[in-house]
Amino acid sequence: MRPERLNPLFAPVTALPGVGPKQDKLFRYLLGRTDTPRLVDLLLHLPASVIDRRARPKIRDVVPGTVVTLAVTVDRHRRSPPGRSRAPYLVYASDDTGDVILTFFRAQPDYIEKLLPVGAQRYVSGTAQLFDGTLQIVHPERVVDEAGLAKLSLIEPVYPLTEGLALGSLRRAVGQALQRLPQLPEWISAEVMRRCGFPSFADALNRVHAPVELTDILPDQPFWSRLAYDELLAGQLALALVRAQLRRPAGVRNAGDGHLRRNVIDALPYALTASQREAVAAITSDLQQPLRMLRLLQGDVGSGKTVVALLAAAAVAEAGKQAALMAPTEILARQHLKTIAPLAAQAGLRVAILTGREKGKERRDTLARLAAGEIDLLVGTHALIQDDVAFKALALAIVDEQHRFGVRERLALTGKGDAVDVLVLSATPIPRTLVLTYFGDMDVSELRDKPAGRQPIDTRAVPSNRLAEVVDAVGRAIEHGKRVYWICPLVEESEKIDFLVDAEQRFASLKARFGARVGLVHGKMKGGDKDRAMAAFASGDTALLVATTVVEVGVDVPEASIMVIENAERFGLAQLHQLRGRVGRGTEASTCLLLYREPLSELSQARLRVIRDTTDGFRIAEEDLRLRGEGDVLGTRQSGLPGYRIARAEAHGQLIAQARDEALRIMQDNPSLRGPQGEALRCLLYLYERDEAIPLIGAG
- In order of their start, the domains of the chain are 4-50+161-217 (no CATH), 54-152 (2.40.50.140), 259-447 (3.40.50.300), 457-614 (3.40.50.300)
Looking from the CA of 81 toward its CB, the CA atoms found within 13 Å total 2
571 vs 203 pLDDT, higher one: 203
Residue 258 has pLDDT above 80, yes or no: yes
Predicted pLDDT at 85:
72
Start-to-end C-alpha separation, the chain: 19
Taking the C-alpha atoms of residue 138 and residue 88, their distance in angstroms, rounded to an integer, is 10
Predicted pLDDT at 4:
92
Predicted pLDDT at 425:
87
3-state secondary structure of 398: strand
243 vs 28 pLDDT, higher one: 28
What confidence tier does 630 reach under pLDDT thresholds 50, 70, 90?
very low
Predicted pLDDT at 634:
32
Q: Which range has the top average pLDDT, 407-421, 519-533, 676-690?
A: 676-690
5 vs 494 pLDDT, higher one: 5
* 270 CB neighbour count, 10 Å cutoff: 10
Predicted pLDDT at 632:
35
432 vs 328 pLDDT, higher one: 328
Q: Which range has the top average pLDDT, 231-235, 241-245, 252-256, 445-449?
A: 231-235
Predicted pLDDT at 50:
84
Q: Of all residues in the chain, what percent carry a pLDDT higher than 70?
A: 89
CB 574 within 8 A of CB 635: yes
Residue 403 has pLDDT above 60, yes or no: no
Predicted pLDDT at 640:
47
> Parallel, antiparallel, or unpaired: how do β-strands 377-380 and 351-354 relate?
parallel
Span 670-686, mean pLDDT?
A: 93
199 vs 31 pLDDT, higher one: 199
314 vs 427 pLDDT, higher one: 314
How far, rounded to the nearest angstrom, does the alpha carbon of residue 526 sit from its chain's CA centroid? 25
State whether the Cα torsion 188-190-194-195 is positive or negative: negative
CB 159 within 8 A of CB 49: no
- Of 363, 591, 301, the closest CA to residue 459 belongs to 591
Span 15-33, mean pLDDT?
A: 91
Span 314-324, mean pLDDT?
A: 95
123 vs 553 pLDDT, higher one: 123
693 vs 700 pLDDT, higher one: 693
Predicted pLDDT at 407:
59
Taking the C-alpha atoms of residue 160 and residue 173, their distance in angstroms, rounded to an integer, is 14
SS3 letters across 253-321:
CCCCCCHHHHHHHHHCCCCCCHHHHHHHHHHHHHHHCCECCEEEEEECCCCCHHHHHHHHHHHHHHCCC
Q: What is the DSSP letter of 217?
A: G
Taking the C-alpha atoms of residue 500 and residue 437, their distance in angstroms, rounded to an integer, is 35
Q: Of all residues in the chain, what percent carry a pLDDT higher than 90?
A: 49
Predicted pLDDT at 629:
47
Residue 636 has pLDDT above 60, yes or no: no
**Mind listing the pLDDT tens digit for each residue in 452-463?**
666 778 999 999
Tell me which amino acid residue 415 is.
G
**Mind listing the pLDDT tens digit for each residue in 122-163?**
999 988 999 888 999 999 988 999 888 888 888 888 888 888
Q: What is the DSSP letter of 415?
A: T
CB 240 within 8 A of CB 668: no
Predicted pLDDT at 408:
67
337 vs 501 pLDDT, higher one: 337
361 vs 53 pLDDT, higher one: 361
**Mind listing the pLDDT tens digit for each residue in 92-120?**
999 999 999 999 988 888 999 999 999 99
Predicted pLDDT at 535:
85
Predicted pLDDT at 108:
87
Predicted pLDDT at 642:
55
Residue 440 has pLDDT above 70, yes or no: no
* 691 CB neighbour count, 10 Å cutoff: 16
Residue 451 has pLDDT above 80, yes or no: no
Residue 247 has pLDDT above 80, yes or no: no
Span 610-623, mean pLDDT?
A: 82
Taking the C-alpha atoms of residue 617 and residue 611, their distance in angstroms, rounded to an integer, is 10
- 83 torsion bin: left (phi>0), alpha (psi -120 to 50), beta (else): left
In terms of pTM, does the model score above 0.85?
A: no
What confidence tier does 631 reach under pLDDT thresholds 50, 70, 90?
very low
Residue 178 has pLDDT above 50, yes or no: yes
Taking the C-alpha atoms of residue 619 and residue 617, their distance in angstroms, rounded to an integer, is 5
Mean pLDDT of the chain, nearest integer? 86
Taking the C-alpha atoms of residue 533 and residue 347, their distance in angstroms, rounded to an integer, is 31
**Mind listing the pLDDT tens digit for each residue in 369-398?**
999 999 999 999 989 999 899 999 999 999
Taking the C-alpha atoms of residue 576 and residue 443, their distance in angstroms, rounded to an integer, is 28
What confidence tier does 301 reach under pLDDT thresholds 50, 70, 90?
low
The residues, any chain, with a CB within 8 Å of residue 390's CB and separated by 6 or more, are 367, 370, 371, 416
Predicted pLDDT at 633:
34
Taking the C-alpha atoms of residue 8 and residue 254, their distance in angstroms, rounded to an integer, is 48
Taking the C-alpha atoms of residue 116 and residue 76, their distance in angstroms, rounded to an integer, is 9
423, burial (CB in 10 Å: exposed 0-12, middle 13-18, buried 19+): buried
